[in-house]
Amino acid sequence: MAFRYLALSLLMALPSTLVADPDGYINPVDWTPASEALDSSVQISGTFVAGAVFDEAQILDERPSLRAYVPSSLAGEEICMRAGSLDGSYEAQYRYKLPEPSDWRQGGVIDFGYETKHGNLLSELTTPDFAVALSVGACASDPDTYLVGYWNVADADSRLPVRLLINSLGAREAYIYVGSDPSVPAIDCTSLRRDQSATDIRSFDFSCVISPDVLDGARSMIEINTATAGVTDPPRFIELILPEGR
């Protein structure tokens, strides 16, 4: 499915403005970097969902790149982008502000860009070794709604698997349910830890791949379950926002 591109200009230290593209659509330009760090120490993120991206798509020549479909219903919302490498050596967080409803009358794919001092490194990182999450709401909030991103890949196809990357904080097992249909079986998640020792630290530790056939329209509810030593933790619920008409 082809979507009209709505470029998100990355302008620091400039007042927030709105710019029309050649077809007359309004492009959001309000972008605020919060942090970007690259070092050898492992930083464990406090966010349960570390990443939500389309998988198995064509790799772009120009990288790093981050795009996502944003419906018009999110006009005026903040979008928080969190990113990090599996080994914890890289972490970043950025805040985006979408235009108000009067300027955002239809949805489309937004090119969020990725302003970074480490472009050579990030252009080579793909899932599951790298996590990117675009959550709806302020970065200080506990997010439960996520845009599904296209990280370093083309957005020409929305009928792709979705990969969730989870920071379970040491659970031994993880599995998810998609939607409310009880006939849809659970999806087992794959551990990304080499072993269960205390020294095998990861900034996220499970990868869950969701087939496009079980995703429920433009908004899919996901129930995430984790367990340690046979004891199941309370489930967590998130919503994934996907391209409409997929």
- pLDDT (0 to 100) of residue 239: 97
- pLDDT (0 to 100) of residue 198: 47
Listed in sequence order, the residues at least 6 apart from 139 whose beta carbon sits closer than 8 Å to its beta carbon are: 34, 78, 80, 82, 93, 95
- pLDDT (0 to 100) of residue 147: 96
Cβ atoms of 164 and 207 closer than 8 Å? yes
- pLDDT (0 to 100) of residue 11: 29
- pLDDT (0 to 100) of residue 210: 96
Torsion over CA: 15, 17, 21, 22 (sign): negative
Closest Cα partner for 147 from 160, 161, 168, 132? 132
CA distances from 134 to 19, 199, 231 (A): 23, 29, 30
Binned average pLDDT, 10 residues per bin, the chain of 246 residues: 36 35 40 68 69 88 87 90 89 86 78 82 84 92 92 84 93 94 92 66 88 89 93 95 80
Cβ atoms of 92 and 86 closer than 8 Å? no
pTM of the model: 0.84
- pLDDT (0 to 100) of residue 121: 84
